[in-house]
Chains A and B, each alone.
Chain A
Amino acid sequence: MLNTFVVYVENKPGVLNRVASLFRRRGFNIESLTVGHTEKSGISRMTIVTDTDAAGTYRVETNLYKLVNVISVENITATPSVCRELAMIKVAATGETRTQLMQLATVFRARVLDVATASLTIEITGTEDKIDGLLDVLRHYGIIEMVRTGRVAMARGGSGNGASVALPPPANLESDDGMVAFSV
């Protein structure tokens, strides 16, 4: 299943490489990775989405902590949180279809960024599902170009960054879904 990690790292040269290299050599596939500044200078925040099971998420977390430049790791998959992605989509448009496309954008609460004679560029922010939904309806008009940022995520409410690190659930080795949990 897809897991979302929020990782705070020191903003130093090569840190992104260290994190990416860790995922590669331990055999984890990165679905998406975003990185940017935080409210604190010298500290960057990564949102990493990876497809793995419960045992895998524990390994990702513990191995990330072995990187000296990693400050905190939080698996927010099971935490109530907001996840957003931004996409810009350039779609083919004719005089006939332009109005339809603009109406579709309104329905999806997307914005039209640029209008040209043969195309229209739409910006949409939302969950991956919502963006996928827009893409589905746009596809048949002809998508010329697209860029997606990948997921950024933040836990709802609470005390802010790095509050607590989600440890694997205690005891019970065999959980209901047959997956191995940890007593750490």
Chain B
Amino acid sequence: MKKTGAEILWECVSREGVTHVFGYPGGAILPAYDALGRFPGIRHILVRHEQGATHMADGYARASGRVGVAVATSGPGATNMVTGIATAMLDSSPIVCITGQVGSRLIGSDAFQEVDITGITLPITKHNYLVTRADEVAGVVAEAFMIARSGRPGPVLIDITKDAQQSSCEFDWDAIAPPTHPARPDRHAAPLEYHRALELINSAQRPLVLAGHGILLSGSFAQFRELVEKSSIPVALTLLGIGALPASHPLNLGMMGMHGEAWVNTAIQEADLLIALGMRFDDRVTGNLKTYAPTAKKIHVEIDPAEVNKNVPVDVALIGDLRTVLQELLPGIALGDRAEWLAHIAELKGEVAVRDIQNLPDNGHLYAAHVISDLWRETQGAAIVVTDVGQHQMWEAQYYKHDEPHSLITSGGLGTMGFALPAAIGAKFARPDEEVWVVAGDGGFQMTMSELATVAQEGLELKVAIINNGYLGMVRQWQEFFYDRRYHATPLVNPDFEKLAQAYGLHAMTVNHRSEVIPAVQAARSHRGTAVINFCVEQEDSVFPMVPAGASLHEMIRRPTALVETATDV
């Protein structure tokens, strides 16, 4: 049967199981949009900026485990996607971006809205395609989805010329050969490697598991939990690994790295074995590499061979899908006790609880940590929280106790401000029955707040907490610590977020005192529709502990006890 390239596109996309696409039309993608109307199984969500579409596809993918799809036109539509694509690349999120391109005969002529988007996105996609003929569409779409979701997932871009969308060709789904990767050498770990790994694990006195995003991506929670429980090995999580093990689990120490708790980082530095599962020793996690975990042997379980020995040389590398590797390892794991090591870690906690802002008496000051903690209590830790990037992101990671996988969605690797609101929209479409909270700073929120219009137009129910301190808070914190308090270009003059949300027809509140936090959260939760809360928090508050960039992991700036005194004085 003859079909146009545009029809083949959506036919193949829907056969990949896609039910939602996030996009913005324009001249070069119009034939595809025209055909989209004939595919009622695909719901199109009209965004306000193409960056929003990519973050929505990303949030959708992270919340559902399925491939997210974003659509844009050529030229500026395509270039607006770049930040979202890079965000998905750095966090291994499977998305497919479809862009229109000028007619194939115009390529290279600087035609109106022509840009070399496959060239631009070459280093930030797993792979990309320029499609110039209708008969190429089906094969490319099938291969693109396969590449996006297989192995270490990531973004794939398909650039389709206008004439490829318009022209027709024979389409026979059954005749399309299933996509194949070129042959790859066998990278699976050898039995000898398993043997060495087990020897190290079973004989370690002070072992620690470093759990990363790979556990969530591979869906190996059960195997992972069985391994740590059987061996009694405590677990430190990366930011993107949060949710891999319930926060309430006794072996879960919490987040590691730059803003990890002091005892977690100290445990890493004192460990005799690190078992890294689906994480990549990012610089925000290791601090100074020269002094990182100096007494520890290292085992690295990783699907991407290029990550092995990239930052930290390891003793044993087990390459492969985490679930498969854990299944191989499990029978050989000896029952462990490790009471001494666990008791030592408990001791390391020491006076941390005293320094914790959560233990401050209510003195009228509103701290961001209070907001996050109250939000956690009120939602019983059961919400999907989508954060932006900055101080609030770290406080969220510290004070919202996630018990479920895929319940924290955040931009880790690229640290993309403006991620939260659009990613939350994607997450809500992926899991419509769940409560989805946006936690964003006043800076990042304003980067993509135009998507409030998308929320309103789609009648979506989101809860939005703006942690408003009137500063680009994390940058201000660095200026305070490392630039002698010269607050250049960090104070913000903000709009009235309450009125702003109301202008979009959304329910909104402003909170200035701690006593108002819980009532406001309750009001937002009981409101049927989107509610925005503007939390006006302490302006010059900082995230502690902090490992300064390039410092050793044990050289942390601890929570000042002075803060405790100041606060209790009032």
A82 interface hit (Cβ, 8 Å): no
1/0 contact trace for B113-126 toward A, CB 8 Å?
00000110011001
Cβ of B305 and Cβ of A65 under 8 Å apart? yes
Q: Looking at A66, A167, A180, which has the most chain B CB atoms within 10 Å of its CB?
A: A66
Nearest opposing residue in chain A for B147, CB measure:
A68
B304 interface hit (Cβ, 8 Å): yes
Question: Which segment of A44-52, A55-63, A115-123, A128-136 sits at the interface?
Answer: A55-63
Cβ of B182 and Cβ of A184 under 8 Å apart? no
Cβ of A68 and Cβ of B306 under 8 Å apart? no
Known: A17-B119, A68-B126, A68-B147. A62 touches B313 (CB 8 A): no
Measured CA separation A29–B310 after assembly (Å) = 18
Known: A55-B309, A68-B127. A182 touches B182 (CB 8 A): no
Question: Which segment of B24-32, B256-264, B315-323 sits at the interface?
Answer: B315-323
Known: A25-B123, A68-B126, A72-B185. A184 touches B317 (CB 8 A): yes
B184 interface hit (Cβ, 8 Å): yes
On chain A, the residues within 8 Å of B192 by CB distance are: 170
> Nearest-CB distance from B118 to chain A (Å)?
7
On chain B, the residues within 8 Å of A25 by CB distance are: 123
On chain B, the residues within 8 Å of A165 by CB distance are: 185
B308 interface hit (Cβ, 8 Å): yes
Cβ of B308 and Cβ of A184 under 8 Å apart? yes
> Nearest-CB distance from A162 to chain B (Å)?
8
A18 interface hit (Cβ, 8 Å): yes
1/0 contact trace for B291-318 toward A, CB 8 Å?
0000000000000111011100111110
B105 interface hit (Cβ, 8 Å): no
Which of these, A14, A62, A164, A167, contacts B118 with CB under 8 Å? Answer: A14
B488 interface hit (Cβ, 8 Å): no
> Nearest-CB distance from B97 to chain A (Å)?
16
Nearest opposing residue in chain A for B187, CB measure:
A184
Cβ of B182 and Cβ of A68 under 8 Å apart? yes
1/0 contact trace for B181-205 toward A, CB 8 Å?
1111101000011001000000000
A85 interface hit (Cβ, 8 Å): no
Nearest opposing residue in chain A for B151, CB measure:
A66
A41 interface hit (Cβ, 8 Å): no
A70 interface hit (Cβ, 8 Å): yes
Measured CA separation A63–B308 after assembly (Å) = 11
Nearest opposing residue in chain A for B316, CB measure:
A183
Cβ of B123 and Cβ of A21 under 8 Å apart? yes
A137 interface hit (Cβ, 8 Å): no
Contact residues, B227-276 vs A (CB, 8 A): none
Cβ of A180 and Cβ of B309 under 8 Å apart? yes
> Nearest-CB distance from A73 to chain B (Å)?
9
On chain A, the residues within 8 Å of B304 by CB distance are: 62, 66
1/0 contact trace for A166-184 toward B, CB 8 Å?
0100100100000010111
Measured CA separation A184–B313 after assembly (Å) = 12
Which of these, B182, B308, B310, contacts A70 with CB under 8 Å? Answer: B182
> Nearest-CB distance from B317 to chain A (Å)?
5
Which of these, B119, B130, B306, contacts A59 with CB under 8 Å? Answer: B306
Cβ of A184 and Cβ of B122 under 8 Å apart? no
Cβ of B313 and Cβ of A72 under 8 Å apart? no
Which of these, A14, A55, A72, A180, contacts B183 with CB under 8 Å? Answer: A72
Cβ of A62 and Cβ of B306 under 8 Å apart? yes
> Nearest-CB distance from A144 to chain B (Å)?
36
Measured CA separation A59–B306 after assembly (Å) = 6
Which of these, B122, B306, B317, contacts A63 with CB under 8 Å? Answer: B306
> Nearest-CB distance from A173 to chain B (Å)?
6
On chain B, the residues within 8 Å of A184 by CB distance are: 187, 305, 308-309, 317, 319
> Nearest-CB distance from A28 to chain B (Å)?
13
Measured CA separation A50–B295 after assembly (Å) = 34
Q: Looking at A21, A55, A68, A167, which has the most chain B CB atoms within 10 Å of its CB?
A: A68
A71 interface hit (Cβ, 8 Å): yes
Measured CA separation A65–B187 after assembly (Å) = 11
Measured CA separation A165–B122 after assembly (Å) = 26
> Nearest-CB distance from B150 to chain A (Å)?
11
On chain B, the residues within 8 Å of A67 by CB distance are: 127
Cβ of A183 and Cβ of B315 under 8 Å apart? yes
Cβ of A18 and Cβ of B308 under 8 Å apart? no
On chain A, the residues within 8 Å of B147 by CB distance are: 68
> Nearest-CB distance from A134 to chain B (Å)?
39
Cβ of B122 and Cβ of A183 under 8 Å apart? no
On chain B, the residues within 8 Å of A69 by CB distance are: 182
Measured CA separation A70–B182 after assembly (Å) = 7
Cβ of A182 and Cβ of B309 under 8 Å apart? yes
On chain B, the residues within 8 Å of A10 by CB distance are: 182
Nearest opposing residue in chain A for B317, CB measure:
A184
Measured CA separation A59–B115 after assembly (Å) = 31
Nearest opposing residue in chain B for A13, CB measure:
B130
On chain B, the residues within 8 Å of A14 by CB distance are: 118, 130
On chain B, the residues within 8 Å of A70 by CB distance are: 182
Measured CA separation A74–B130 after assembly (Å) = 29
> Nearest-CB distance from B271 to chain A (Å)?
18
Cβ of A59 and Cβ of B310 under 8 Å apart? yes
1/0 contact trace for A11-38 toward B, CB 8 Å?
0011001100100010000000000000
Cβ of A21 and Cβ of B122 under 8 Å apart? yes
Nearest opposing residue in chain A for B299, CB measure:
A183
Measured CA separation A70–B147 after assembly (Å) = 14
> Nearest-CB distance from A2 to chain B (Å)?
21
Known: A17-B119, A68-B182, A70-B182. A183 touches B305 (CB 8 A): no
Cβ of A173 and Cβ of B315 under 8 Å apart? yes
On chain B, the residues within 8 Å of A167 by CB distance are: 185
1/0 contact trace for B461-501 toward A, CB 8 Å?
00000000000000000000000000000000000000000
On chain A, the residues within 8 Å of B308 by CB distance are: 62, 182, 184
1/0 contact trace for B157-193 toward A, CB 8 Å?
0000000000000000000000001111101000011
- Of the A-B pairs whose beta carbons lie under 8 Å apart in the complex, a sample of 12, sorted by A's number, is A14-B130, A21-B123, A25-B123, A63-B306, A65-B184, A66-B126, A68-B127, A69-B182, A71-B183, A72-B183, A184-B187, A184-B319
Top-8 shortest CB links A-B: A62-B306, A165-B185, A62-B305, A68-B127, A71-B182, A184-B317, A63-B306, A180-B313
B residues adjacent to A (C-beta < 8 A): 118-119, 122-123, 126-127, 130, 147, 181-185, 187, 192-193, 196, 304-306, 308-310, 313-317, 319
A residues adjacent to B (C-beta < 8 A): 10, 13-14, 17-18, 21, 25, 55, 58-59, 62-63, 65-72, 164-165, 167, 170, 173, 180, 182-184
